[in-house]
Amino acid sequence: MKALFKPLLGGVLLSAAICGPALAHEFGFAGILDHANKEELPELTLSSGKPVSEAPWKLKSGKVYEVEIVSDGTAELGLEGSGFFRAIWINEVVVNGLEIRPYGLDSVEFDEAGTMEIEFLAIKPGRYFLRQPGTTGESQRVEIVIE
């Protein structure tokens, strides 16, 4: 009888690891969303005429990251990067203390000054970018490598 429940328990624990902290907490199993697996990335800045990032990002598949995107309101600015957004799983986007749990993103935009925080799990290895829409300058983008 015990042998019948082992696969079931394994499936529950795997679901807990993937489905998020609330379910994982129920079973005492934090999995990939455990805070020990999370790393803060350097802030991205959206400001007219200023670089978005100081350096490229080098990420590891299976690791959780958190990034703050800050706009100073000097212009209506955003970031696009559908390839990158499809290579990650987004746990949450936080804007003004409101947590949003989307299925996915294609881009984000600021109409005025503010801060947005995105927590995500890097999944698909490859080379990606986030850039200000309609720009071609190297300083208006951040290069991203997921290993």
41-67 residue pLDDT tens? 999 999 988 999 999 999 999 999 999
State both tokens at 75. 């212009």
> In angstroms, rounded to a whole number, what is the distance separating the alpha carbons of residues 118 and 90?
7
Instruction: Please identify, in words, the CATH class of the domain defined by 35-146.
Output: mainly beta
CA-to-CA separations, 58 to 71, 111, 135, in angstroms, rounded: 23, 29, 22
99-139 residue pLDDT tens? 999 999 999 999 999 999 999 999 999 999 999 998 888 89
C-beta of residue 112 within 8 angstroms of C-beta of residue 79 = no
Q: Please report, for the chain, the start and end positions of each structural domain, with discontinuous segments joined by +.
A: 1-33, 35-146
C-beta of residue 86 within 8 angstroms of C-beta of residue 107 = no
11-41 residue pLDDT tens? 444 444 455 555 444 444 456 666 678 999 9
